[in-house]
Structure 1
Amino acid sequence: MPIDATLPYDDQNIFAKILRGEIPSQRVYEDDWAIAFHDIAPQAPVHLLVIPRGPYVSWDDFSERAPAGEIAGFVRAVGRVARDHGLVAAGYRLLANVGGDAGQEVAHLHVHLFGGQPLGPMLAR
């Protein structure tokens, strides 16, 4: 169900529970700033989610409230995950949905990393 990205952070969302280890995930990366894991409903041969450890509802919330070091650490983590999975040479797509119209379903910032095949146009015309 799409969410309202302007609402306060809810620490009972599924990604907060994954961060706390209450729900299992197939983690592929973690550092002080982020964790990455396989999406449970992959839309491409490689479909990973990268989430910050901090409590941010969306990209908008993160870019507004996170300290510069946390932003840099998270962005570097996304790049590292892409490199570690061999996505750079052929290309990959990043997607961060913000709010209901974009289809955001979990009220915790997450970046989708898609790759492993040609992905086609971004949006249908």
Structure 2
Amino acid sequence: MSQQENPSSLRLQILTCHLAASSRNMASEKEAALAAVPSDSRTIFDKIINKEIPAKVVFEDDKVLALRDIAPQAPTHILLIPKVRDGLTGISKAEKKHCEILGRLLYTAKLVAKQEGLDDGFRLVINDGPNGCQSVYHLHIHLIGGRQMNWPPG
């Protein structure tokens, strides 16, 4: 088993990533990332899409669902998720067949940002893999706004 495949190594990478973050709000994200294991299993987002788990939905069409994050990092923090995963567990798994949904997600982010009154700007974030601190292996975009963003991000 290589170091990348070793679950202990994966947990250490995730922990190292999250220890670098100084925000107290990151505690629950650290726990979620530590518990995450990349897989094609059903995720919490699949359950939300299927209405098995309630969510504060702000936009929905036949391809995309947008909902408020339960641990917001800004006054506006919305997650945009494709309704059909089709192997798209993270952006690094994107294939040519995913181009349409990736464009649809970005366009929907623009629509939702306008709906939310984020006229002064916003940030889009896609976490990918252990070093990107991805905690749910179902591609999703974080739409964050309503405050001044810092650069570089942590």
- TM-score (norm. length: structure 1): 0.85
**Structure 1 residue 65 displacement after superposition:** 5.3
Counterpart check, 1:85 vs 2:113: no
**Structure 1 residue 84 displacement after superposition:** 1.2
Q: 1:60 aligns with which of 66, 86, 92?
A: 92
How many angstroms apart in 2 are the aligned matches of 1:65 and 1:17?
26
Counterpart check, 1:37 vs 2:67: yes
**Structure 1 residue 120 displacement after superposition:** 1.6
How many angstroms apart in 2 are the aligned matches of 1:66 and 1:122?
32
Q: Residue 28 of structure 1: SS of its match in structure 2?
A: strand
Counterpart check, 1:115 vs 2:145: yes
**Structure 1 residue 54 displacement after superposition:** 1.5
More RCO (CA 8 Å, sep 6+): 1
Counterpart check, 1:76 vs 2:107: yes
Indicate the structure (1 or 2) with the bigger Cα radius of gyration.
2
State whether residues 58 and 108 of structure 1, in contact with CA within 8 Å, keep that contact through their aligned partners in structure 2: yes
How many angstroms apart in 2 are the aligned matches of 1:15 and 1:29?
15
User: Structure 2, unaligned stretches of length 5 or more?
Assistant: 1-31
Tell me the matched-pair count.
119
Q: Residue 70 of structure 1: SS of its match in structure 2?
A: helix
How many angstroms apart in 2 are the aligned matches of 1:67 and 1:123?
27
Letter in 1 for 2:59: Y
Structure with greater helix percent: 2
RMSD over equivalenced CA pairs, Å: 1.7
For residues 10-25 of structure 1, what are the structure 2 equivalents within 5 Å?
Answer: 10-11=41-42, 13-25=43-55
How many angstroms apart in 2 are the aligned matches of 1:8 and 1:105?
11
